[in-house]
Structure 1
């Protein structure tokens, strides 16, 4: 199959591209940094074509590509420091719409849009969140991703492209940005440094990056047969942040006394419970979670310690 993968050098994008190329699929990856792309994929040979990120170039290039499957991962805001409104609107909303419109003359089979669990409103009853839950992003990132979903879906409808949104919950792996929870904790604990944390009562749904990447690919491969336009990509199980931190500490081999729970206040806009319902995904695809939280953490921490 032919795939266009945006955000190919990001944590999830790297896994998606590698799985596709190793499966014999052809990948086109719009990029902004040749150096970063070469560092990520220098061993993949001819299975991937890099093109400069320019929607006009992409539009012209894709005219002759048959049966194109698009996995759109490019978006700012995963790192909190990137979350200013101009950046979010330009990178999440405008870029998604521009990418859809660049495909209007291509033979596009589907557009897999990656959303976020933060698009949903809070779960007041502490139950898993289904795809039918209301959109009510309370933080800037969640609001921008919800707007991106609505606008890109409308654009796809206008140009006649099958549109599916995959809402991601807590995807983690060794290639996460340094400021994210797991690499941050590993970096501090391996050096014997104390870590200021909240009480850690927040409950989150974590999914290892390989499982998330495979879900996105399966959604793309089966898009024409899918009944729904939104799918939660998640484990369906919650874990408190304090328990996650203790698991990371154990994997690093650190002293748990370095974890200073309660030293930081909760953020004002921080929801206390975000766990997804993945029944729709499991009922629609031949997909299941391969990595338990312990297995995924062990893999992640081991690789982080090797860096």
Structure 2
């Protein structure tokens, strides 16, 4: 199989590349920086904001995966221009280009459970719920992801296009400022922890399960469409922090909660219902947080 990943050295793109290495798939990478931490067959240096892609080579791929995004990590302070270009304009342009040149393979893009916005409903959301949500969007990342999802749901094409709504992805090698590595690092270094009240609920999926899911979709000839990828764990932030402390045999200091402010606290409950995808290809996440804490 020939796999092309658009975007290098991102958390998700690296996980997909490592999976391709294990499966011995031909792997072509496009991005600003040369890939590190895994093998690849070809690398093409591309600035997606300014450069045109070499579609003559790309369309030979069985699967093309758009693994580029901006605005995911608020601490990076990325510009609105970058967020809307990489999350909307570039993937829309690629979709239209693949359509015009008669691509016959599979194209993969990603949406996010954060597209639900500031909902207080406590239930697992369907694809339709996420796609049609009108709850307030707390940031440009949420708005831009909504724009891409609604385009994908509407445009006409002959190739296979899977758009996967994903929950919070986690795993070793993720950004050290994110919740799980931050907590583990602070415990190990005996540093004081700072969190919000910790009552917001998030669904989590181990990053290594996403490429397996894509492979399963290809093997089972999943039809074009929008699909939720349901994670195994759904916890509040307080529950996640508590589980990490318990796993590491460290007492949890209660005063660590309520000392931090974040823009996403208005999104009280974010979880996906993956029934549609499970019924189509049999995918069900099997790895839980406590299975991989020691890998961090």
**Is the TM value for this pair above 0.5?**
yes
| Alignment correspondent of 1:204 | 202
| Alignment correspondent of 1:60 | 56
| Alignment correspondent of 1:275 | 271
Deviations 1:250-298 (A, max 9, x none): 33443312761122245376211111111111111132222123213x2
Which sits farther off after the overlay, 257-266 or 75-84? 257-266
Task: Give the CA deviation at 1:84.
Answer: 3.5
TM-score (norm 2): 0.87
Contact 1:202–1:272 (Cα < 8 Å) also in 2: yes
State yes or no: 1:26 paired with 2:26: yes
Deviations 1:49-72 (A, max 9, x none): 211225534213235x2x531121
CA RMSD in angstroms comes to 2.4
Mapped to 2, the partners of 1:221 and 1:101 lie a distance apart of: 25
* Number of aligned residue pairs: 287
State yes or no: 1:69 paired with 2:63: yes
Deviations 1:180-223 (A, max 9, x none): 1111112222111111111211111111111122123323444x
Contact 1:205–1:275 (Cα < 8 Å) also in 2: yes
Contact 2:8–2:33 (Cα < 8 Å) also in 1: no
Unaligned runs of 5+ in 2: none
Determine helix, strand or coil for the equivalent of 1:206. Answer: strand
Mapped to 1, the partners of 2:19 and 2:280 lie a distance apart of: 21
Which sits farther off after the overlay, 118-127 or 25-34? 118-127
Unaligned runs of 5+ in 1: none
* Correspondent of 1:40 among 34, 37, 40: 37
User: 1:61-100 residue pairs with structure 2 within 5 A?
Assistant: 61-62=57-58, 65=60, 68-80=62-74, 81-100=76-95
Deviations 1:23-53 (A, max 9, x none): 132121102112xx1x322xx3xx5321122
Task: Give the CA deviation at 1:247.
Answer: 1.5
Determine helix, strand or coil for the equivalent of 1:50. Answer: strand
Determine helix, strand or coil for the equivalent of 1:197. Answer: coil
Contact 2:228–2:276 (Cα < 8 Å) also in 1: yes
* Correspondent of 1:229 among 212, 225, 249: 225
* Correspondent of 1:262 among 238, 258, 261: 258
Contact 2:117–2:267 (Cα < 8 Å) also in 1: no
Determine helix, strand or coil for the equivalent of 2:52. Answer: helix
User: 1:127-206 residue pairs with structure 2 within 5 A?
Assistant: 127-133=123-129, 134-136=132-134, 138-140=137-139, 141-152=141-152, 157=156, 160-206=158-204
